Amino acid sequence: MTRIATERMRVDVTVGVVRARRRRTPARVRFCALDGPVQVVIEADHEDDARHLCREMGFAFIGLCDG
């Protein structure tokens, strides 16, 4: 019995640890556009996304909104 117990204790156990980090989502930024005479506020992650949305919707892109 003693031999079996010591042999079992000699067995190497490898445990893998995986660290998963949650990606922080960037704060959405407000951009302004025009739909005819109406000012439209667009919230997007990047200026490229806002410009792409303006092209799809037929809005005139202005830029960052204040406030």
Higher pLDDT, 8 or 54: 54
pLDDT of residue 27: 78
The pLDDT mean for the chain works out to 78
Which tens digit of pLDDT belongs to each residue from 50-61?
999 999 999 999
Please report, for the chain, the start and end positions of each structural domain, with discontinuous segments joined by +. Answer: 2-64
- Is residue 31's pLDDT more than 70? yes
Residues forming a β-bridge with 42? 31
Q: Give residues with Cβ within 8 angstroms of 57, minimum separation 6.
A: 33, 35
- Tell how strand 29-35 and strand 38-44 pair up: antiparallel
pLDDT of residue 4: 52
Residues 30 and 42 sit within 8 Å (Cβ to Cβ)? yes
Tell me the mean pLDDT in the region 34-50: 92
